[in-house]
């Protein structure tokens, strides 16, 4: 069994400690730990976190291997410090059967850069009409616990109610892409001052907020658990805050891009800023940061959405929606939350590892950095400063909104059950 000694890292941003990994497990955490025959990683000044967990990744396989595969997507995940990702169901074919979720799960295990937990579709073909075989997906080898029609909203209230009732039986959760479809027909960007000036069809905040309001009430009525994907408006924050104060079992995520970017960027007509839900206003961004800091928003999830060059290299109206995010997420969170004093590194560990692992029931992930725990770890250099260069991405796609932007921090090492998937910034 191989041993690694991470020497002098600030564990969760606290005091410098040595962490000895033996095989798949953390063997010792302390000061002056003897290296013996272990490989030594000198980590002075660096931060050691539990391996990051992404509850919202689009790996695109099967069906859109021209934009991403399980292999390239999990390599991107390891580069970004992730040890587990949840793969969204909007593939071709849709992951709405035990067969498809098992295929994705197996590919993840074969490639080994991070754990891949498939998300099952809520409805057959993401069509919103008939419940998919939720129980069979849960009972499969993939043991699906998170269900989502992401990309589409489960807009039929009866279907949503039935899904919530069904997953309650085995402790699952429905992750809702909250978007009232009738209110967003033909929408191109956030509805507001900028959309009016540009003459682009707007996506009103109420389209998101009305679905969240309905779904937290449905979850309360059914006594089930609901998760809100990529919450993006100040009004959505207020609804989730109200629901939690009422004791409703709701969790919510925010993407890194909604913590930093605003709809002002759409003035450039650069399709790299086209995303669903859309970039909102400065006021929304500030409300989202505050909500992530105070725990109203539980987690950061990337909504990593790779697209091939040709799907983004076109006029605004025709461009695909979405951004890659796995390889820049931690830097954006450092920039918007840590360097602003809103969140400690311990808070980052909570929002990007502990809580997403708990919501998705990712076993062995999001654990404390202490002896006896699985060695799923991320080491980063918070002092690093560099500009984002998509040419260096491990992802097959390059549609990042941060190209050329200076962002702080860099993941140097990622360990999956003791094995380095990323070593000195290079994939193993």
Q: Give the active site residues.
A: 303
DSSP-assigned states of every residue in 307-326: --HHHHSS-GGGSPP-B--T
111 in a known ligand binding site: no
Helices (H) and strands (E) in the chain, counts: 12, 19
* H runs (alpha helix) in 304-382: 309-312, 329-333, 345-349, 355-360
59 in a known ligand binding site: yes
Q: Does 177 bind Zn ion (CB under 5 A)?
A: yes
Q: How many CA atoms lie within 13 A of 316 on its CB side?
A: 18
230 in a known ligand binding site: yes
CB nearer Zn ion, residue 17 or residue 276:
276
Helix axes 205-222, 234-245, angle to 10 degrees: 10
Rounded to a whole number of angstroms, the minimum distance from the CB of residue 401 to Zn ion is 16
Rounded to a whole number of angstroms, the minimum distance from the CB of residue 229 to Zn ion is 5
Among 68, 149, 150, 311, binds Zn ion (CB under 5 A): 150
Please count the other Cβ atoms lying within 10 Å of the Cβ belonging to residue 298: 26
CB nearer Zn ion, residue 7 or residue 177:
177
* Among 23-31, 145-153, 321-329, 355-363, the segment contacting Zn ion (CB under 5 A): 145-153
Rounded to a whole number of angstroms, the minimum distance from the CB of residue 37 to Zn ion is 47
56 in a known ligand binding site: yes
CB nearer Zn ion, residue 378 or residue 397:
397
Q: Which parts of 98-117 interact with Zn ion (CB under 5 A)?
A: none
Label the pairing between strands 250-254 and 189-190: unpaired
Residue nearest to Zn ion (CB): 177
Question: What distance in Å separates the CA atoms of residue 136 and residue 363, rounded to the nearest whole number?
Answer: 20
By CB under 5 A, how many residues form the interface with Zn ion? 3
Rounded to a whole number of angstroms, the minimum distance from the CB of residue 178 to Zn ion is 9
- Draw the binding track, 216-255, toward Zn ion (x: CB under 5 A; -: no contact): -------------x--------------------------
174 three-state secondary structure: strand
150 in a known ligand binding site: yes
Q: 34: burial class by Cβ within 10 Å (0-12, 13-18, 19+)?
A: exposed
- Would you say 228 and 253 are in contact if contact means Cβ atoms under 8 Å apart? yes
Q: How many CA atoms lie within 13 A of 257 on its CB side?
A: 28
29 three-state secondary structure: strand
Rounded to a whole number of angstroms, the minimum distance from the CB of residue 261 to Zn ion is 16
Q: Does 307 bind Zn ion (CB under 5 A)?
A: no
Distance between terminal CA atoms of the chain? 17
CB nearer Zn ion, residue 150 or residue 327:
150
CB nearer Zn ion, residue 78 or residue 300:
300
- Binding-site residues for Zn(2+), in ranges, read 56, 58, 150, 177, 230, 303
Binding site residue list: 56, 58-60, 90, 150, 177, 230, 276, 303, 307
- Residue ranges that bind Zn ion, judged by CB under 5 A: 150, 177, 229
């Amino acid at each position: 069994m191989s041993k690694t000694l991470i020497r002098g890292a600030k564990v969760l941003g606290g005091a410098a400690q040595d962490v000895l990994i033996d095989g798949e497990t953390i063997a010792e955490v302390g000061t002056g730990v003897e290296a013996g025959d272990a490989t030594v990683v000198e980590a002075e000044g660096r931060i050691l976190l539990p391996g990051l967990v992404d509850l919202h990744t689009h790996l695109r396989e099967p069906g859109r291997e021209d934009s991403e595969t399980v292999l390239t997507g999990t390599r991107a995940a390891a580069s970004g410090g992730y040890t587990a990702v949840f793969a969204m169901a909007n593939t071709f074919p849709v992951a709405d059967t035990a067969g498809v979720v098992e295929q994705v799960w197996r590919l993840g295990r074969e490639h080994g850069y991070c754990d891949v937990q498939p998300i099952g579709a809520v409805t057959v073909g993401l069509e919103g009409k008939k419940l998919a075989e939720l129980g069979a997906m849960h009972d499969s080898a993939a043991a699906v616990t998170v269900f989502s029609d992401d990309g589409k909203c489960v807009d039929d209230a009866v279907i949503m109610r039935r899904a919530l009732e069904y997953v309650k039986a085995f402790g699952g959760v429905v992750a809702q892409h909250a978007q009232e479809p009738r209110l967003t027909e033909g929408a191109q960007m956030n509805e507001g001052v900028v959309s009016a000036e540009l003459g682009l069809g707007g996506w009103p905040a109420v389209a998101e907020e009305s679905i969240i309001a309905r779904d937290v009430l449905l979850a309360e009525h059914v006594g089930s658990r609901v998760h809100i994907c990529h919450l993006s408006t100040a009004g959505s924050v207020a609804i989730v805050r109200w629901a939690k104060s009422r004791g409703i079992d709701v969790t919510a995520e925010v993407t890194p891009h909604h913590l930093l970017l605003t709809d002002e960027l759409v003035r450039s007509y650069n399709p790299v800023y086209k995303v669903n839900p859309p970039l909102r206003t400065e006021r929304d961004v500030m409300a989202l940061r505050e909500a992530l800091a105070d725990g109203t928003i539980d987690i950061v999830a990337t909504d990593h959405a790779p697209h091939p060059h040709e799907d983004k290299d076109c006029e605004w109206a025709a461009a695909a929606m979405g951004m890659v995010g796995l390889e820049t997420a931690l830097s954006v969170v450092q920039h918007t939350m840590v360097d602003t004093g809103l969140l400690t590194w311990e808070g980052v560990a909570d929002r990007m590892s502990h809580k997403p692992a708990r919501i998705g029931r990712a076993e062995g992930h999001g654990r404390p950095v202490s002896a006896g725990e699985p060695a799923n770890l991320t080491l980063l250099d918070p002092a690093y400063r560099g500009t984002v260069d998509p040419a260096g991405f491990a992802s097959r796609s390059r549609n990042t909104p941060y190209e050329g932007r200076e962002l702080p921090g860099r993941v140097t090492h990622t360990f999956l059950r003791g094995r380095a998937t990323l070593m000195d910034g290079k994939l193993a």
